[in-house]
Amino acid sequence: MSETIKVGDLVAQFLKGIGVETAFGVISVHNIPVLDAIGRGNLLRFVMARGELGAGHMADAYARASGSLGVLFTSTGPGAANACGSIVEARFAGSPVLHITGQTATGNLDKGQGTVHDVPDQLGMLKSVSKSAYRVRSAETALGTLIQAATDALTPPRGPVSVEIPIDIQRTEIPVPAGLDNIVLPIPVPRPPETASLDTLTDMLKSAKRPLLWTGNGATNATDAVNRLMALGIPHVSSWNGRGVVDETDPMTLGALNATPEVVEYYKSVDLLIVAGCRLRGHETADMSLDLPERRVQIDIDPAADGRTYSSDLFVCADSALTLGAVADAVEGKTQVEAGYGNEIAELKALTTENYRKAQAPYDTFAADLRAVMPDDAIWVRDITLSNSTWGNRIFPLNDPTQNIYPIGAAIGPGMQLGIGAAIGGGGRKVVCMCGDGGFNLNMTELWTAVQERADVVFLVMNDKGYGVIRHIQEILYGGRKFFHDLQGPDYEGLAGVAGLHFARVSKASELGDKVASALSVGGPSLIEVDMTAIGAYPPYFKAPPYAQKDEE
């Protein structure tokens, strides 16, 4: 008689078999068979979030910090719907997240009968927010569907993939599938560039006198190649999501200073821009109105990227790391870069950084003071705040892509949960998580997840008692009329006391470094409030886009 296994146990063993060590989620009537198997066998660490949205952001940040698959469990219906915002963010970020959710029993599927948690077209909802979405349609196909879903999530361009498993299938017993103990995901090998495209690209670069390399998230695995090209005199700049591919203190990289006035002026002199693994998305190019060098090459694994934002003279559909490595091989000793070009870039970087820093007063010391007390390998997590949209994204230096975690989709609120997931997935590295008070308060219940899991993270709350950027927008575009921006928040010291957290308050800019250093020495989560009303108003960040018309008073 053959050995049998319930599908719920099969899911748990599958995750263990492909190397998953941690999963996030909320237990529910429609996922108990799987979570019972995980708990009974002590197969994985299961992080109990307070809500599915928070769990999804934690799984996303875990994937970014660890470089491995993030796993999210939700219930069906409202539980799956609650996670949609976090799945959208993981898709923006290109995070490999496997979302496993329940579904009503197969006899009730797609009949609108209104059974528990049943919603119309859950699979359609998940397809709309995920890279792809699947339904396990029989117990016998469960393993194949899971393999397909995990492979999709980990295949570039990476992203979140959802799988729904009806509750009766989770309880069904089947013969143990052959190969369950030795699963190898069929992830395609990286695609090399075609010879003709590579030859054209290398010829263009050999003749360029003032080239520039711009990399994004799709090239964060290209560290060696980017460093080699910089050593050949080719400077580098990155998208905000692609930061850390090289050490940002290197004078040959402009880091994330990609849209500052000084750098935009410099673009006019560039005779070849090579864009690798980057969307050149509207958030960083003023809705694609930024004047980039006219002669452009784009390298991307996704053929749909060709012309999606900016046109190019040459599109190379290939893996960025392989392509840049091959280019470095081909052009070594054969470039015609202008003499003194590297010194010019170093001076441009120093000038731009200093001008940008000064413009952030009275918060102009924050980036340097934080960097000085944080370990070199610390993970820098941020929510969308005035501070992150300025110095946090641009002049806080990073040296590894896994240090760079923030909401790519520009939503407020994910920061705290991203910080928790990064701390759990960061391999023991320290985490500093900067949030605004509006974003921090949005999902405050997840603070207790951090406490329960002993997540080693310092929450740095920039408290200006409201939505600071909304105030700036209303001031510039709406005649100074300010509505619905003030928020009543908690007494953060009292909140820390209730949660049992180390607490400190920063009332002067000069206090930041010492107080963060003290918090970093404390194991587990800490809370630091930066009293922006005491330090001073943040300088205006928002500038009206070219198409905007100022509202008449």
Range 517-521 average pLDDT: 98
Range 262-282 average pLDDT: 96
Given pLDDT bands bounded at 50, 70 and 90, which one contains residue 549? low
Check whether 515 has a pLDDT greater than 90.
Answer: yes
Range 231-250 average pLDDT: 98
Percentage of the chain surpassing pLDDT 70? 97
- What homologous superfamily is domain 359-535 in, according to CATH? Thiamin diphosphate (ThDP)-binding fold, Pyr/PP domains (3.40.50.970)
Measured CA angle at 151 (ends 422, 423), to 5 deg:
5
- Contact of 407 with 414, CB cutoff 8 Å: yes
C-alpha Rg value of the chain to the nearest Å: 24
Q: What is the pLDDT of residue 553?
A: 41
Q: What is the pLDDT of residue 201?
A: 98
Check whether 548 has a pLDDT greater than 90.
Answer: no
Check whether 355 has a pLDDT greater than 60.
Answer: yes
Given pLDDT bands bounded at 50, 70 and 90, which one contains residue 232? very high
DSSP SS3 for 424 = helix
Q: What is the pLDDT of residue 44?
A: 96
Residue with tokens 């392509």: 323
DSSP element (H, E) containing 71: strand 70-74
Q: What is the pLDDT of residue 486?
A: 85
8-state DSSP, 249: T
Distance CA(386)–CA(472), nearest Å, equals: 10
Q: pTM to 2 decimals?
A: 0.95
Distances, alpha carbon 452 to alpha carbons 50, 399, 448, in Å? 11, 31, 6
- Contact of 56 with 86, CB cutoff 8 Å: yes
Distances, alpha carbon 410 to alpha carbons 57, 204, 281, 406, 415, in Å? 13, 36, 12, 8, 11
Our measurement of the distance from residue 241's CA atom to the centroid of its chain's CA atoms, rounded to an integer in Å, reads 7
As given in the structure block, the two tokens for residue 478 are 């709406």
Given pLDDT bands bounded at 50, 70 and 90, which one contains residue 129? very high
Q: Which residue has the higher pLDDT, 153 or 485?
A: 153
Q: What is the pLDDT of residue 496?
A: 97
Distances, alpha carbon 425 to alpha carbons 23, 103, 110, 418, in Å? 10, 29, 37, 10
- What homologous superfamily is domain 195-353 in, according to CATH? TPP-binding domain (3.40.50.1220)
Range 113-120 average pLDDT: 79
Check whether 520 has a pLDDT greater than 90.
Answer: yes
- The reply to whether 195-353 and 359-535 are identical in fold is yes
- Residue 232: name the closest of 345, 321, 350, 334 by CA: 334
Type of residue numbered 406: Y
Alpha helices in 155-237 (DSSP H): 167-170, 195-207, 223-231
DSSP SS3 for 266 = helix
CATH number of 4-175: 3.40.50.970
Other Cβ atoms closer than 10 A to 255: 25
Of 156-160, 165-169, 540-544, the poorest mean pLDDT is in: 540-544
- Contact of 450 with 518, CB cutoff 8 Å: no
pLDDT 10s digits, 63-91: 999 999 999 999 999 999 999 999 999 99
- Contact of 457 with 433, CB cutoff 8 Å: yes
Q: What DSSP string runs through 400-419?
A: SGGGEE--TT--SS-HHHHH
Q: What is the pLDDT of residue 545?
A: 59
Distance CA(88)–CA(145), nearest Å, equals: 22
Percentage of the chain surpassing pLDDT 90? 88
- The upper half-sphere exposure of residue 318, i.e. CA atoms within 13 Å in the direction of its Cβ, equals 21
Domain boundaries, given as residue ranges, for the chain? 4-175, 195-353, 359-535
Range 244-253 average pLDDT: 98
- Contact of 96 with 220, CB cutoff 8 Å: no
Q: What is the pLDDT of residue 472?
A: 78
Q: What is the pLDDT of residue 2?
A: 66
Given pLDDT bands bounded at 50, 70 and 90, which one contains residue 250? very high
Distance CA(111)–CA(402), nearest Å, equals: 44
8-state DSSP, 549: -
Q: Which residue has the higher pLDDT, 553 or 394?
A: 394
pLDDT 10s digits, 302-333: 999 999 999 999 999 999 999 999 999 999 99
- Residue 429: name the closest of 378, 382, 373 by CA: 378
Distances, alpha carbon 493 to alpha carbons 461, 509, 527, 531, in Å? 12, 19, 8, 12
Distance CA(7)–CA(13), nearest Å, equals: 10
- Contact of 39 with 88, CB cutoff 8 Å: no
Given pLDDT bands bounded at 50, 70 and 90, which one contains residue 544? low
8-state DSSP, 284: G
Omega prior to 401 cis, within 30 of 0: no
